[in-house]
Amino acid sequence: MQDPKAYQHVNNMQSRDLEVILKENSFEWKQKDARIMDVGCGDGSATMGIWKKHISESFMIIVGSDKSQACVNFAKKNYEGEKVKFITLDIEGQIPDDLKGCFDHVVSNYVFHWVQRQEKGFSNIYDMLAKEGKCLLIFLGNCNCYENYRTLSRTTKWNSYLKDVKTKLLSPYHDSQASDPQIEIRSLMRKIGFRDINIQVQNLSFDFERGIDEFRDLMKCLNPFDGLEEKWEDFMDEYVQLDPNAGTIIYQLLVVSGTK
């Protein structure tokens, strides 16, 4: 994501879901001197405003990380402090040795559906955890907006922009309805070495307060397709023709936890 400043005004779905999940579930946080890594922190507002609020005040450090330099710069400028740091990190890439075994909790909200190399992503999380450390990952499975993008990718007009829709946008679990994402994720995590694995699948919807306009703004912020931004109004007009209810998004949210 390249525009964290714009994202902070349209992240209402991501913030709502994180708040509700943390409120309704009792996750076991380390009570004293906890070291926490937030993977894919984006603009940093959820790291600072939501995750930090839910962990014990006596934490040692929170590190927000993101593969986007623009996000890390923005988060540093707005939220960095004595016990809150931000670093650049691609969770699908090589993890520096000095991050391995260092965290009591690795958390992440609305990021892992962007991760195509799921095994690498999950094993990097495992490697960053200290012994007995826990991860909590929240991300999308199936979503109606993915299907709309896929439909548009098959049209002559949008095909050249959206030809990589499957690898650049769709969650790796968008199509796993029949095989069940829980089975896939559990078997991947087991193979890596996680234990106490818990996977919830929640069927949700979100009504954007500003309706379709807010949806358009959010998707513009998150747009991964080269050249599409210049055609954004035209593209979104056709998207809304295809889905006149685009002001409401319908999706499956996966809430995944495990222990090293």
Ligand X SMILES: C[S@@+](CC[C@H](N)C(=O)[O-])C[C@H]1O[C@@H](n2cnc3c(N)ncnc32)[C@H](O)[C@@H]1O
Min dist. Cβ of residue 69 to ligand X (A): 10
Residue 129 tokens read as 């955890």
- Cα 103 to the chain's mean position, in Å? 19
Contact residue for ligand X among 21, 34, 46, 228 (CB under 6 A)? 46
Distance, CA of 89 to CA of 72 (rounded, Å): 9
Nearer to ligand X, 117 or 186 (CB): 117
Instruction: Determine, following the binding rule CB under 6 A, whether residue 40 of this chain makes contact with ligand X.
Output: yes
Min dist. Cβ of residue 64 to ligand X (A): 8
- Name residues whose C-beta falls within 8 Å of residue 237's C-beta, 6 or more positions apart in sequence: none
* Single-letter code of the amino acid located at 200: Q
DSSP string, 57-70: TT-SEEEEEES-HH
Contact residue for ligand X among 21, 62, 115, 228 (CB under 6 A)? 115
Q: What is the DSSP letter of 48?
A: I
Q: Which of 15, 24, 27 is nearest to 256 (CA)?
A: 27
Residue numbers 65-104 binding ligand X by CB under 6 A: 66-68, 71, 90-92
Residue 51 tokens read as 């995750």
Min dist. Cβ of residue 241 to ligand X (A): 26
DSSP lists the bridge partners of residue 222 as none
Helix-strand-coil split of the chain, %, nearest 5? 45, 25, 30
Residue numbers 189-208 binding ligand X by CB under 6 A: none
Min dist. Cβ of residue 89 to ligand X (A): 6
Phi, psi of 3 (to 5 degrees): -125, 70
Only one of the segments 94-102, 105-113, 150-158, 231-239 lies at the binding site for ligand X (rule: CB under 6 A); that segment is 105-113
Min dist. Cβ of residue 50 to ligand X (A): 8
Instruction: Determine, following the binding rule CB under 6 A, whether residue 42 of this chain makes contact with ligand X.
Output: yes
Only one of the segments 109-117, 164-172, 209-217, 247-255 lies at the binding site for ligand X (rule: CB under 6 A); that segment is 109-117
Q: Which of 71, 225, 56, 204 is nearest to 139 (CA)?
A: 204
Instruction: Determine, following the binding rule CB under 6 A, whether residue 14 of this chain makes contact with ligand X.
Output: yes
Min dist. Cβ of residue 169 to ligand X (A): 11
- Name residues whose C-beta falls within 8 Å of residue 41's C-beta, 6 or more positions apart in sequence: 47, 64, 65, 66, 71, 72, 75, 86
Residue numbers 120-179 binding ligand X by CB under 6 A: none
Nearer to ligand X, 68 or 171 (CB): 68
Instruction: Determine, following the binding rule CB under 6 A, whether residue 217 of this chain makes contact with ligand X.
Output: no
Min dist. Cβ of residue 29 to ligand X (A): 18
Report the interface residues with ligand X, using CB under 6 A: 1, 11, 14, 18, 39-42, 46, 66-68, 71, 90-92, 109-111, 114-115, 222
